[in-house]
Amino acid sequence: MDYLIQNAWAQAAPQAQQPGLASFLPLVILFVVFYMFLIRPQMKRQKEHTKMVEALAKGDEAVTNGGLLGRITEVGDNFVKLEIAKGTEVKVQKHAVAQVMPKGTIKDK
């Protein structure tokens, strides 16, 4: 039957190439992009927040992550007390303070 239909033989397998620098280059570029745009700015913000939390002092006006605005009346190791209204104080974690406001932000009536 070989004279009507030719035999189909498989091709030889291609030689396996050694992984070189070119195969790792996209991975390296991806890591550099992630570092530049995500990791580094987040670390910078975290350092600034830690520095701000360490500098909290009595009398500072601060806003918490929950949106409470108040004057710091007491600073402890892990907690601060905020006076949010006359005679109303709340105790929050230091790291829950999102921002220190400029003096005079809270208007006393």
- How would you class 98 by CB atoms within 10 Å of its CB: exposed for 0-12, middle for 13-18, buried for 19 or more? middle
Residue 5 in any domain: the answer is no
Residue 65 in any domain: the answer is yes
Domain count, the chain: 2
Question: What pTM does this model have?
Answer: 0.69
DSSP E strands in 17-105: the ranges are: 61-64, 69-75, 79-85, 88-93, 97-101
pLDDT digits (tens, 9 = 90+) for 27-80: 999 999 999 999 999 999 999 999 999 999 999 999 999 999 999 999 999 999
Q: By residue range, what is the domain housing residue 41?
A: 23-55
pLDDT digits (tens, 9 = 90+) for 70-90: 999 999 999 999 999 999 999
One domain for residues 74 and 47: no
